[in-house]
Amino acid sequence: MSSQIPRTIGSFEVECELGRGGMGIVYLAVQPGLERRVVLKTVPREAAEDPRVAERFQREARAAAGVHHQNVVVVYDCFSFRGRPYIAQEYVDGQDLASVLRGVGRLEPRVAALVALELVRGLEEIHASGVVHRDLKPPNVLLGKAGEVKVADFGIALGSGKGPALTQTGQAVGTPRYMSPEQLYGERADPRSDLFSLGVVLYEMLAGRPPFEEEEDPEKGALLRRIESGRYPGLRSLSPATPRWLARLVQSCLRPKPRRRPASATALRCALEQRLGTSSPADARREIAAWLWQRGVFGEDDEATEARPLASRAGRRLRPRLLAAAAASLALAAAAWAWEHRAEIDVPLDRWLSDVARR
- Catalytic residue set: 135
Beta strands in the chain (DSSP E): 8-9, 12-20, 25-31, 36-42, 75-81, 84-90, 94-96, 141-144, 149-151
Task: Write the DSSP symbol of residue 175.
Answer: -
Run of H or E including 11 = none
Q: Which of 151, 46, 95, 3 is nearest to 299 (CA)?
A: 95
Separation CA 154–CA 24 (nearest Å): 13
- Sign, CA dihedral 2-36-99-69, equals negative
Separation CA 61–CA 154 (nearest Å): 8
In the chain, % helix, strand, coil (3-state, to 5) comes to: 45, 15, 40
- Give the end-to-end CA distance of the chain in Å, rounded to a whole number: 60
- Whole-angstrom CA distances from 194 to 132, 181, 187 are 7, 11, 14
Q: Position 106: which residue type?
A: R
Separation CA 260–CA 252 (nearest Å): 7
Q: Are 174 and 155 in contact (CB under 8 A)?
A: no
- Sign, CA dihedral 281-286-289-292, equals negative
Separation CA 165–CA 179 (nearest Å): 18
